[in-house]
Amino acid sequence: MTQNPPAAYGPDELFDNLIAGQWVPSEDRSRNINPSDTSDVLGQFARADAATVERAIAAAKQASETWAHGPIQQRFDILDTAGTLIRERADQLGELLAREEGKQLKEATAEVLRASQLFKFFAGETLRNTGEVVDSVRPGLRVEMIHEPVGVVGIITPWNFPIAIPAWKIAPALAYGNTIVFKPAEIVPASAHALVCILREAGLPDGVLNLVMGPGRVVGDAISTSRDVDAVTFTGSVGVGAGVIANASAAGSKVQCEMGGKNPLIVLGDADLDAAADAAINGAFFSTGQRCTASSRLIVTADVHDEFVAKLKERMTGLTVGDARAESTVIGPVVSADQLKQDEEYIRLAADEGGTVHGGERVEADTEGYFLAPALVTETTEEMTINKEEVFGPVASVIKVADYDEALAVANRTTFGLSSGIYTGSLTHAEHFKRHSQAGMVMVNAPTAGVDYHTSFGGRKGSSYGPREQGRAAREFFTLHKTIYVNP
Ligand code: UN1
C-alpha cells in the first residue's frame, strides 16, 4: 500500500515521488535501512529516473508563474504553519530521523526543532523583502532596486542533516517566491518525505515543491544539468560539489555549494582546558562526527598538550556508543556500511603514517549496526592524510604546536575553510584570530559545530562556492536583482 503521507514505517511501506501535487510511484525503489539495526527497514522509497526529474522540473516551472507573483501573506502563512506543525511533531519526527540516520535521539529532536525555527524565521522574511529607492542622477527620474524570485530552484541535500538542511534551503526558496525540485540524499528519504507532506498540509499549492528521490548520478545530474532549473543549491562532498558547479555553470544556472571541512580548533596554554575539552569532544564526536563543521584538527600548544589529551581521553570513556534511540547512547552509529569502511580506512592510514590511535574500534551491540568507537589520533603531523582529507566520521587528530603563531599557520594551511575555533584567555590572540583565520565561520571559546539558524552560514576556499546560506544573507542566492528607472 502506498502511504502518502505515511501512517507507519516498515519494510512493506511504499513512498512515492511528488510531481505537480500527484504521488508518482516507481518500479525502482530503494530500501531505507536503520543504521542502528540493519534488520529494521523503514520503507521502500521511489527512485526517480531522468524523465521523471524532467517532469518535476516542468511542474515547478509551470507553478512558478502563479507562485512567484502570489500574495506574500500566503507564503508567510504556509511557512509559519509548517514551522508550527514541525514543532508539534518534533518527538515523532526526531524518532524517525534517529531511526533512519542514526543521530542520537536528543540531537535528532533538536535538529527537528531547528527545522521548525528555520521555517518560522523565513516566514518573517517573506514580509521583509525590502528594496531601495534612490533619486536618479538624471533629474526627474527615480530608481528602484528590488529582489525578485529566481524561478525554479534545484535543491540537493546530504544525509547528515536529513531535515535541517532541507529546511534551510526549502524555507528561503519558498519565502522569496521560488518553486522547487527537491532531491534528498538517497539513504535518508523518510525525513524529507515527511517534510514534504507537512508543507502540503500547511497549504502549499501543487507543483510548488516537487520531490524526486533517488541516486545522485541520475537525479542530481538531471537537476544540475537542466536549462530549465534557474538555480541549484547543494550541500555535500567536495567531489560531488565540483560536478554540480560544472554542470550548473554549463547550464547557465546560479549555483551555491556547501562542501567539506577540515576544521581546526586551537587550544592555547591560557585557555580554560575543561571548557576546551568539552568543546573538542562535542565538535569532534557528537553526531558521530558526521558534520561538515566538525572539529577534526585539534591544534594544541606544547605547554598544555599532554594535559589536554589526558582530558580528552578521560571524556571519551563516557561516550557510550549504541542504538541512536537508546536512552544511554551518546554517540549513534555511523550512517552506512560505506561510510564505516571509509572511517576505518582513514583510521588505519593514520596509524600507518605514524599517528597513535586511541579508540576507533568496532563496538558490539545487541543489534547489527554500524557502531564505531570515537577515535583520537595523537602524535600527528600536518603532512599526514588524516590532517588533509575530511573523514566525516568520529575521528579527530591532535597536532602539537609551539605557540599561537604556529597554531594559526597550521589552522590556515588547508584547502578547506568552513569553520574554525580558538580557546584562549587572551583577548589579543582571540582578536588576532578573528581577523586572520581563513574560515567563513570563526568561533572564540565556542565549539566549531552547532550554528544558529538566523545567521549566515558558509565557508571559504574549497569548502563553499557561491553566496551564503541562512539568515538574511540567504536572499542573495534565492533572488535576482532588478533595477527599475521610473519617470513618474
Ligand atoms: C552545524 O554545525 O550545526 O553538513 C551545522 C553540515 C553542515 C551543517 C552543520 N552543512 O554538517
The number of the ligand 1 atom at minimal distance from the alpha carbon of 292 is 11
CA distance linking residue 305 with residue 307, whole number of Å: 6
Nearest alpha-carbon partner for 415 in 264, 194, 243, 218: 264
CA distance linking residue 234 with residue 440, whole number of Å: 17
Catalytic residue among 13, 258, 344, 390: 258
Task: Identify whether the C-beta of residue 131 lies closer than 8 Å to the C-beta of residue 144.
Answer: yes
Nearest alpha-carbon partner for 205 in 166, 185, 233, 177: 177
Q: Which residues pair with 457 in a beta bridge?
A: 469
Percent of the chain with pLDDT over 70: 99
Percent of the chain with pLDDT over 90: 98
Query: How far, in Å, from the CA of 143 to the mean position of ligand 1?
Result: 39
Q: Is the CB of 160 under 6 A from ligand 1?
A: yes
Residue 3 has pLDDT above 80, yes or no: no
Q: How far is CA 138 from CA 134, 135, 208, 292, 485, in A?
A: 11, 8, 41, 50, 10
Which class does domain 14-259+463-486 fall in? alpha beta
Burial class (CB in 10 A: 0-12, 13-18, 19+), 260: buried
Pairing of strands 37-46, 14-15: parallel
The C-alpha cell at 440 is 567563513
The C-alpha cell at 158 is 546530504
Half-sphere exposure of 173 (CA within 13 A, CB side): 29
The C-alpha cell at 258 is 556547501
| DSSP state letter for 387 | G
Confidence at residue 5, expressed as pLDDT on a 0 to 100 scale: 67
Q: Is the CB of 292 under 6 A from ligand 1?
A: yes
Nearest residue (CA) to ligand 1, atom 1: 450
Question: Best mutation site among 292, 339, 419, 463 for ligand 1, i.e. most ligand atoms within 8 A of its Cβ?
Answer: 292
Confidence at residue 1, expressed as pLDDT on a 0 to 100 scale: 45
* Per-residue pLDDT tens over the stretch 447-462: 999 999 999 999 999 9
Query: How far, in Å, from the CA of 451 to the mean position of ligand 1?
Result: 7
The number of the ligand 1 atom at minimal distance from the alpha carbon of 160 is 4
Question: Best mutation site among 111, 165, 418 for ligand 1, i.e. most ligand atoms within 8 A of its Cβ?
Answer: 165
CA distance linking residue 223 with residue 94, whole number of Å: 29
Question: Best mutation site among 161, 265, 455, 468 for ligand 1, i.e. most ligand atoms within 8 A of its Cβ?
Answer: 161
Query: How far, in Å, from the CA of 291 to the mean position of ligand 1?
Result: 5
Confidence at residue 384, expressed as pLDDT on a 0 to 100 scale: 98
User: Could you give the 3-state DSSP secondary structure of residue 447?
Assistant: coil
* Per-residue pLDDT tens over the stretch 122-161: 999 999 999 999 999 999 999 999 999 999 999 999 999 9
CA distance linking residue 400 with residue 388, whole number of Å: 16
Q: Is the CB of 336 under 6 A from ligand 1?
A: no
CATH number for region 264-444 = 3.40.309.10
Nearest residue (CA) to ligand 1, atom 5: 450
Q: Is the CB of 294 under 6 A from ligand 1?
A: no
Q: Which residues pair with 145 in a beta bridge?
A: 132, 483
Q: Looking at residues 267-287, what average pLDDT do you find?
A: 98
Contacts of residue 337, defined as CB under 8 A and 6 or more positions apart, other chains included, come to: 370
Question: Best mutation site among 160, 442, 448 for ligand 1, i.e. most ligand atoms within 8 A of its Cβ?
Answer: 160
Nearest residue (CA) to ligand 1, atom 10: 292
Q: Is the CB of 451 under 6 A from ligand 1?
A: yes
Residue 2 has pLDDT above 60, yes or no: no
Confidence at residue 7, expressed as pLDDT on a 0 to 100 scale: 72
CA distance linking residue 448 with residue 282, whole number of Å: 9
Q: Is the CB of 168 under 6 A from ligand 1?
A: no
Query: How far, in Å, from the CA of 392 to the mean position of ligand 1?
Result: 11
The number of the ligand 1 atom at minimal distance from the alpha carbon of 290 is 11
CA distance linking residue 157 with residue 115, whole number of Å: 14
Confidence at residue 447, expressed as pLDDT on a 0 to 100 scale: 97
Rounded mean pLDDT of the chain? 97
CA 13 to chain centre: 27
Task: Identify whether the C-beta of residue 377 lies closer than 8 Å to the C-beta of residue 357.
Answer: yes
Residue 402 has pLDDT above 80, yes or no: yes
Q: How far is CA 411 from CA 170, 256, 383, 407, 417, in A?
A: 33, 25, 13, 6, 9
Band of the pLDDT at 4, cuts 50, 70, 90?
low
* Per-residue pLDDT tens over the stretch 352-370: 999 999 999 999 999 999 9
Task: Identify whether the C-beta of residue 205 lies closer than 8 Å to the C-beta of residue 14.
Answer: no
CA distance linking residue 34 with residue 337, whole number of Å: 11
* Per-residue pLDDT tens over the stretch 314-352: 999 999 999 999 999 999 999 999 999 999 999 999 999
Contacts of residue 279, defined as CB under 8 A and 6 or more positions apart, other chains included, come to: 265, 295, 421, 423, 445, 446, 447, 448
In this structure, the number of other CB atoms found within 10 A of the CB of residue 73 comes to 10
Which residue type occupies 108?
A
* Per-residue pLDDT tens over the stretch 84-103: 999 999 999 999 999 999 99
CA distance linking residue 406 with residue 408, whole number of Å: 5
Confidence at residue 8, expressed as pLDDT on a 0 to 100 scale: 87
Phi, psi of 90 (to 5 degrees): -60, -40
User: Could you give the 3-state DSSP secondary structure of residue 111?
Assistant: helix
Q: Is the CB of 449 under 6 A from ligand 1?
A: yes
The yes-or-no answer on residue 258 being catalytic is yes
Task: Identify whether the C-beta of residue 255 lies closer than 8 Å to the C-beta of residue 177.
Answer: no
Q: How far is CA 346 from CA 10, 159, 455, in A?
A: 34, 20, 33
Task: Identify whether the C-beta of residue 263 lies closer than 8 Å to the C-beta of residue 295.
Answer: yes
Q: Is the CB of 376 under 6 A from ligand 1?
A: no
Q: Looking at residues 245-264, what average pLDDT do you find?
A: 98
The yes-or-no answer on residue 368 being catalytic is no
CA distance linking residue 17 with residue 197, whole number of Å: 11
CA distance linking residue 84 with residue 194, whole number of Å: 14
Query: How far, in Å, from the CA of 147 to the mean position of ligand 1?
Result: 27
Burial class (CB in 10 A: 0-12, 13-18, 19+), 406: middle
Query: How far, in Å, from the CA of 192 to the mean position of ligand 1?
Result: 17
Catalytic residue among 100, 292, 344, 469: 292
Task: Identify whether the C-beta of residue 154 lies closer than 8 Å to the C-beta of residue 53.
Answer: no
Pairing of strands 29-34, 37-46: antiparallel
What are the domain boundaries of the chain?
Answer: 14-259+463-486, 264-444
Q: Is the CB of 235 under 6 A from ligand 1?
A: yes
Nearest alpha-carbon partner for 55 in 234, 251, 210: 210
